[in-house]
Chains A and B, each alone.
Chain A
């Protein structure tokens, strides 16, 4: 079983850094899991359409990203691909190809894709600049636990 763990988001856009930060901290906290040969870790600020290429050769892809729904900031969502539409962005620019749009297009074209698991961290703000909200900082250890549990359940 080959597993890709992909942290997604923009490090200079407030809480959008949550996915990248969580994957980095999980790597430091659980080095044994992170260095297993069947596990591949990637940090990708804005993968856009290239997300497909990042995950194509794996059996499972765990995507860790900031999300915005109506939950309390810092809430950890463990969701599947089907639940994504509730979180999809409405950005239509070439820079704004979101995860949901890219996966939808790939499915539509019958491309081979791994099983997708998503760990979403509810964001409070995505304003310009570095630094996350306090509630999100506090939620990062929980997100690390969620990543570890998810992988453990697969291996």
Chain B
């Protein structure tokens, strides 16, 4: 078989290609080429006032803007030693529910399901199962509606600020979403039922799963960084164990542990590490559908996303019912020089931010570590693990199986492209 080369990956966010070099029926080189141009966000955040940061970082991604707002807001609140009110914290979780819902519905049905059903695109899925796609669009829309109700618009919402929210959203439009949310919960339960029936390729990987962990809730916005190998570090100490480095073929950095090992962030890591903190309804869905954990097959991250759809629809219902804005929407900021870290669980995995600010609250240094950068070396390692299977397939099927693996990760290449240093070597 010839080398496998996909010049532009379809159904992923951003621009990248895939290269698998073969010699005597063995994979000798695998590269996920990330040629999407670098974004330089960390550079142009410098000398900006801290309150501008959440709305600027939100622009990194159209699918997970809330994650970028949340990690930056928490990091800057830590730098100023302030704590947001319990109501603001609950509203941040609700907003995050909206993001998980729209992002997971998009990925499950539009991006990955076509692979599992042997179809080229969602158009072909719509031809054989129009109801599935109609429901998918509605599931996604409800997530966007949550964002719009809290943040004024369904993509790149505003309103999150350092200290809480600029203003409380009205309760009535949020409560009006309840019938849709109840429908969404039922639909999400059906989604889990359907997800376990799909034909996943065989691949078991002994991952080091890494995710935030919180003792009292399914960790999304705060917690400790846990690893399935038993390592536990605080968010402030994240960089003592997890580092990024530049590799030649990628405009996105590659994440490793300090021991040089790859690790996996995202829905599989969260579900495997935090299933005990799932809401009862989501736990029940695991039992009803005989899903046993840990799941170690990367293709089956679709199942984890479906379980999370149940979790976040259910949690959204509870949070909307309990929503009762009281007191100021944000705490007043007392500016001082300092440094702060923040990490939240974006739909695609752990998203870490660190900022240094001066006395006037101007950003002196910014570091953003997106989930896809952490997963890129892991995707390449998985492709090596997959190679013995695909070399015996015909070229078309081999290419599809490899592409499917990349898509199963739901990589967000646009988010991941950032350079810290550009080194030019002259020969």
Residues of A within 8 A of B (CB): 46, 48-50, 52-53, 92-95, 101, 104-105, 108-111, 128
Instruction: Report if A95-B154 is in contact (Cβ < 8 Å); known contacts: A105-B126, A110-B130.
Output: no
A109 to B154, CA, bound (A): 22
Interface residues of B in 95-144 (CB under 8 A from A): 106, 110-111, 121-123, 126-127, 130, 133-134, 137, 140-141, 144
Residues of B contacting A128 in the complex (Cβ-Cβ under 8 angstroms): 37
Contact with A along B14-33 (1 / 0, CB 8 A): 11000000000000000000
Q: Which 7 A-B pairs have the closest CB atoms?
A: A92-B10, A108-B126, A94-B13, A109-B134, A109-B130, A95-B13, A92-B11
Listed in ascending order, the chain B residues whose CB lies under 8 Å from chain A are 9-15, 37, 62-63, 106, 110-111, 121-123, 126-127, 130, 133-134, 137, 140-141, 144, 154-155, 414
Known: A92-B10, A93-B11. A53 touches B141 (CB 8 A): yes
Determine if B127 and A109 form an interchain contact, defined as CB atoms under 8 angstroms apart.
no
Give min CB distance, B251 to chain A, whole Å.
14
A95 to B412, CA, bound (A): 10
Residues of chain A lying within 8 A (CB to CB) of residue B12:
93-94
| Also in contact, A94 and B110, with CB within 8 A (given A46-B62, A49-B137, A105-B122) | yes
Closest CB in chain B relative to A101 CB, distance in Å: 8
Q: How far is the CA of A29 from the CA of B154 in the complex (A)?
A: 29
With A50-B144, A50-B154, A105-B122 already in contact, the answer to whether A95 and B14 are too (CB < 8 A) is: yes
Find chain B residues with CB under 8 A from A48 CB: 62
- Best-buried of A53, A94, A101, A105 by chain B (most CB within 10 Å): A94
CB distance from B305 to the nearest CB of A (A): 14
Tell me which residues across on chain B come within 8 A of A95, comparing CB atoms: 13-14, 62, 414
Whole-angstrom distance between the alpha carbons of A109 and B15 in the complex?
29
**A108 B62 Cβ-Cβ under 8 A:** no
Q: Could you show 17 A-B contacts with beta carbons less than 8 Å apart?
A: A46-B62, A48-B62, A49-B106, A49-B110, A49-B140, A50-B154, A50-B155, A53-B154, A93-B10, A93-B13, A93-B14, A94-B106, A94-B110, A94-B111, A95-B14, A101-B123, A108-B130
In Å, the complex CA distance between A93 and B15 comes to 8
By a CB distance below 8 angstroms, the chain A residues around B127 are: 108
A3 to B127, alpha carbons, bound, how many Å? 30
Residues of B near A93 (CB, < 8 A) are 9-15
Contact of A104 among B10, B13, B123 (CB under 8 A): B123
CA distance A94 to B414 in the complex (A): 11
Residues of A within 8 A of B130 (CB): 108-110
Instruction: Write the nearest CB–CB distance from A8 to chain B, whole angstroms.
Output: 14
| Cα(A93)–Cα(B9), bound, Å | 8
Contact A92/B14 with A49-B137, A109-B133 known, Cβ cut-off 8 Å: no
Residue of B nearest to A52 (CB): B137
Q: How far is the CB of A110 from chain B (nearest CB, A)?
A: 7
Residue of B nearest to A111 (CB): B134
Distance in Å: Cβ of B33 to nearest Cβ of chain A: 15
- Can you name the residue of chain B whose Cβ is closest to the Cβ of A54? B154
B15 CB, min distance to chain A CBs, angstroms: 7
The distance in angstroms between the C-alpha atoms of A93 and B106, with both chains bound, is 11
Bound Cα distance from A52 to B134, whole angstroms: 12
| B361 → chain A closest CB, angstroms | 28
Cα separation A48 to B122 with both chains bound (whole Å): 14
Docked CA distance A53–B148 (Å): 12
- CB-defined contacts of A92 to chain B, threshold 8 Å: 10-11, 121
Q: How close is A20's CB to chain B, nearest CB, in angstroms?
A: 15
Which A residues are in CB contact (< 8 Å) with B122?
Answer: 105
Q: Are A105 and B13 in contact (CB under 8 A)?
A: no
The docked-state distance in angstroms from the alpha carbon of A80 to that of B399 is: 38
How far, in angstroms, from A48 to B155 measured CA to CA in the complex? 11
Name the residue of chain B whose CB is nearest to the CB of A108.
B126
A108, B134: Cα distance in complex, Å: 10
- Min CB distance B375 to A, Å, is 17
CB distance from B158 to the nearest CB of A (A): 15
Q: In the docked arrangement, what's the CA distance between A105 and B106, Å?
A: 14
Task: Give the nearest-CB partner of B137 in chain A.
Answer: A49
In the bound assembly, the distance between CA atoms of A45 and B127 in angstroms comes to 29
Known: A49-B137, A93-B10. 13 other contacts (CB 8 A): A46-B62, A48-B62, A53-B141, A93-B15, A94-B12, A94-B13, A94-B63, A94-B106, A95-B14, A101-B123, A104-B123, A108-B126, A108-B127
Assembled-state Cα–Cα distance A50/B105 (Å): 13
A101 cross-chain contacts in B, Cβ below 8 A? 123
Choose from B10, B15, B37, B123 the contact partner of A105 (Cβ within 8 Å).
B123
| Distance, CA A104 to CA B123, complexed state (A) | 8
Residues in B whose Cβ lies below 8 Å from that of A104: 123
